[in-house]
Amino acid sequence: MFGELFDDSRVIQAKNALYPHHLRWRKKTAITQTLFTEQDYHERKPHTMKIMRKIIEIDETLCDGCGLCVPACAEGAIAIIDRKARLVSERYCDGLGACLGNCPTGALKVIERQAEDFDEEAVKEHLKRRDDVKETAPSTPPRTCPSARIMDLDRPTPCQEANRPVSQRPRASLLSNWPLQIRLVPPDAPFLKDANLLIAADCTAVAYPDFHNQFVRSRIVLLGCPKFDDQSAYIEKFAAIFRAADIKKITCLIMEVPCCATMMVLIDKAMEMAGRSVPVENIIISPKGDIVKR
């Protein structure tokens, strides 16, 4: 059942009057107090005429819950519920598909079917309620994305660390370029010319124990976070680099979390924008520091 909440006192009073013996209240947080869900609301409100129109369809088998489609929908029609993207209400979806290009797995598509008509006024009310909840929400964000999941990772004991072979112990830095952050590297930086490029998510440098020896050696390093940084700026920066420098190969190093996979999508879009084709090797690192895919 969808988690979108309605707190209109008139609706609550009507529900109490009509269904005193069947109140399906749901206890939420202190912010939302005693509210009922949108599905409850639709069951009690007068029947809404449906029309044949375009609307978003979400394939749950493809959706990995990364949440990139949520901010892409200006109407707030999509939410992450139970780690899957779901359509909150047919009335909130305008069917234009602005969210499609932000899905790295292709789980979203626009179809034509019988659905409630798009309601601009309902969208305004919905966004206002959502903003009101955000203003009073606790500072700790909900941990809906796997990248925010708290984990205790196994670490070697002092004895195990002392017995580690010398060849596996940290070496001198192999870094050959500065700056590192994608946002700071100018497209015409001399070190980019004819480079083997390592585009790495920030966390990989900490998660993988032999990061320098395995990945930094003989590569130019660009670091960034596709979850928190401006994705459109990344596409433009990568495209400018691909146009200005004859990049020989790209190694894309990301973490084993859905939002990190967006980095691969951004690189592909940048190559399309620049009209270039560069060989790309995608490598995925687990939070425990293992290579899980290459």
Give a yes or no: residue 101 inside a domain: yes
The last residue of one of the domains, among 137, 164, 186, is 137
101 and 211 belong to one structural domain = no
**Is the pLDDT score of 213 beyond 70?**
yes
Give a yes or no: residue 167 inside a domain: no
Q: Average of pLDDT values for 95-117?
A: 88
115 and 239 belong to one structural domain = no
133 and 9 belong to one structural domain = yes
122 and 19 belong to one structural domain = yes
Give a yes or no: residue 48 inside a domain: yes
Cβ(35)–Cβ(3) below 8 Å = no
135-144, 155-164, 172-181: segment of lowest average pLDDT: 135-144
23 and 100 belong to one structural domain = yes
131 and 254 belong to one structural domain = no
Per-residue pLDDT band for 199 (boundaries 50, 70, 90) equals: very high
124 and 199 belong to one structural domain = no
20 and 128 belong to one structural domain = yes
Q: Give pLDDT, residue 227.
A: 85
The residue that leads in pLDDT, 158 or 250, is 250
Give a yes or no: residue 82 inside a domain: yes
pLDDT in tens, 237-284: 999 999 999 999 999 999 998 888 889 989 999 999 999 999 999 999
User: CATH number, domain at 39?
Assistant: 3.30.70.20
**Is the pLDDT score of 88 beyond 50?**
yes
Residues spanned by the domain of 263: 174-293
Cβ(99)–Cβ(78) below 8 Å = yes
Give a yes or no: residue 201 inside a domain: yes
Give a yes or no: residue 62 inside a domain: yes
Q: Average of pLDDT values for 53-82?
A: 88
281 and 195 belong to one structural domain = yes
17 and 117 belong to one structural domain = yes
103 and 189 belong to one structural domain = no
Taking the C-alpha atoms of residue 273 and residue 187, their distance in angstroms, rounded to an integer, is 15
**Is the pLDDT score of 105 beyond 70?**
yes
The last residue of one of the domains, among 92, 110, 137, is 137
76 and 186 belong to one structural domain = no
The last residue of one of the domains, among 85, 114, 137, is 137
Phi first, then psi: what are they for 60, rounded to 5°?
A: -65, -25
The residue that leads in pLDDT, 139 or 241, is 241
Closest CA to 251 of 291, 278, 230, 286: 278
Give a yes or no: residue 165 inside a domain: no
pLDDT in tens, 31-47: 333 333 444 444 444 44
Phi first, then psi: what are they for 27, rounded to 5°?
A: -75, 120
User: CATH number, domain at 260?
Assistant: 3.40.50
Closest CA to 226 of 199, 187, 207: 199
Give a yes or no: residue 159 inside a domain: no
Q: How many domains does the chain have?
A: 2
Taking the C-alpha atoms of residue 123 and residue 93, their distance in angstroms, rounded to an integer, is 9
Cβ(273)–Cβ(266) below 8 Å = no
